[in-house]
Amino acid sequence: MTDSGCNPDAGFYNNNSLASTEDRSSNDSHPDPSVKPVAIYGLASRSDYGSETRYNVAGYHWPTKKPGHTITKHGYFLDPDVDIGALDTSVFPMARGELEVLDPQQRLLMEVPRESRRCWGSELAGDESLNEACVAIGKGDCSSAIVAGTSIIMAPSLTTDMSDQGTLSPDGSCNPFYTKANGYARGEGIVALFVKSLDDALRDGNPIRSVIVGSATNGDGNTPCS
């Protein structure tokens, strides 16, 4: 299992710096006064460093749009040193039959959240989306939560589908809000955040990497283009 290399002192907010931040924002309006600030105090990740796909991209690449093929050979993939098939069964014991069919993303989503917990110290209380975690902590449904996500490109099917739809950049680059924008490049990564209320983090002496003062989600259906 690869350690994410966390530093317990990195990004630590002391009471004085938090107080000055609160003073600057004391006059700001908040849509929901019951929402409490949430601290991110633990994190770990596996990021994209490599350029090698997990399939023979030459067999699927076509320089122009062609059904069932990909217009790009590029992407952002986990470093080859990250063994997505490995799992420390002394830490995560399970039956051999279950282990043999375990999705690599599930393996990584056990390792990485554990690293975020080990780096900063806490009790695992939940695994939810960031907004749901903030709401649950604010309501007192849980005292802390893990928010985690993963993206591993195991096969070419979704990449070829996206290429058919014209969403991928042929040169494998992202240029948002720029005239050279021609699509986006797919990438891999796993991240886990440990969050709890800011008051609790200060009380417990946790290193604070960032503070969330509000969150929201939106799903209003189809939005007309004109």
Predicted confidence (pLDDT) per residue in 115-163, tens digit: 887 665 444 444 448 888 998 998 999 999 989 888 899 899 999 999 9
pLDDT at 185 over 60: yes
On whether the CB atoms of residues 146 and 124 are closer than 8 A, the answer is yes
* Residue 204 pLDDT greater than 90, yes or no: yes
Q: Does residue 15 have a pLDDT over 70?
A: no
Output the pLDDT for position 122: 47
Residue 219 has pLDDT above 80, yes or no: no
pLDDT for res 26: 42
Q: How far apart are CA 79 and CA 122, in angstroms?
A: 29
Q: Report the pLDDT value the prediction gives residue 25, as an integer from 0 to 100.
A: 41
Contact 38, 196 (CB under 8 A): yes
What is the chain's length?
226
Amino acid at the residue 189: G
Q: Are 80 and 192 in contact (CB under 8 A)?
A: no
Bridge partners of 43? 193
Q: Which residue has the higher pLDDT, 142 or 20?
A: 142
Q: Exposed (0-12), middle (13-18) or buried (19+): which is 36, by Cβ within 10 Å?
A: middle
Domains of the chain: 33-212 (3.40.47.10)
Q: What are phi and psi of 5, to 5 degrees?
A: 70, 50
pLDDT of residue 2: 39
- Confidence category of residue 23, pLDDT binned at 50, 70, 90: very low
- Per-residue pLDDT averaged across 93-112, rounded? 87
Above pLDDT 70, what percent of the chain?
Answer: 77
How far is residue 185's CA from residue 74's CA, in Å, rounded to a whole number? 7
pLDDT bin (cut points 50, 70, 90) of residue 169 is very high
What single-letter amino acid sits at 147?
Answer: V
pLDDT digits (tens, 9 = 90+) for 39-98: 999 888 887 676 778 888 889 999 888 899 999 988 888 888 888 888 888 888 888 888
Per the listing, tokens 């990909």 go with 70
* Sheet strands side by side (includes 189-197): 144-151, 189-197, 38-46, 210-212
Span 10-16, average pLDDT: 41
Mean per-residue pLDDT over the chain, rounded? 78
